[in-house]
Amino acid sequence: MSCRTALIALIASALALSAYASPSKHPHQRITKETRHDPAFRAGFNDGYRQGANDCEALSNSYKDEMGPIYERAADGYTPQYGDLASYQELFRLGYVDGYKDGWDFNAGQYTPFGAGGGGP
């Protein structure tokens, strides 16, 4: 096997593995399309987004995505029809962390009408 062939195989392997990598801080839990539509995830995302945006707007240097009473309780919007509370809380917290990052980044100017990272005049 030539060096070029080995390099191509290595790059292809890395790309294939990155497709399965989780963008989440919770590598054991992959965020899928179905997860994003789950009521617990959506409730957590919305609460996290608001809190992340508020924390960033307050010029806080403390990025606290896994802290606070909302994250700890992780039961906003819960009803027994969603199943057991522990499963709901796990998805809520996953959504909260994801939403917190998006809210923080949006208020920090990471996202603009020109796309992520700014741009424009």
pLDDT given for residue 74 in this prediction: 96
CA distances from 27 to 10, 24, 30, 75, 111 (A): 23, 6, 7, 22, 24
Q: Confidence class of residue 60 from pLDDT cuts 50, 70 and 90?
A: low
Residue 98 makes CB contacts below 8 A (sequence gap 6+) with 24, 31, 41, 44, 45, 48
Q: Where are the domains of the chain?
A: 25-116
pTM of the model: 0.66
Least confidently predicted of 23-27, 62-66, 94-98, 104-108: 23-27
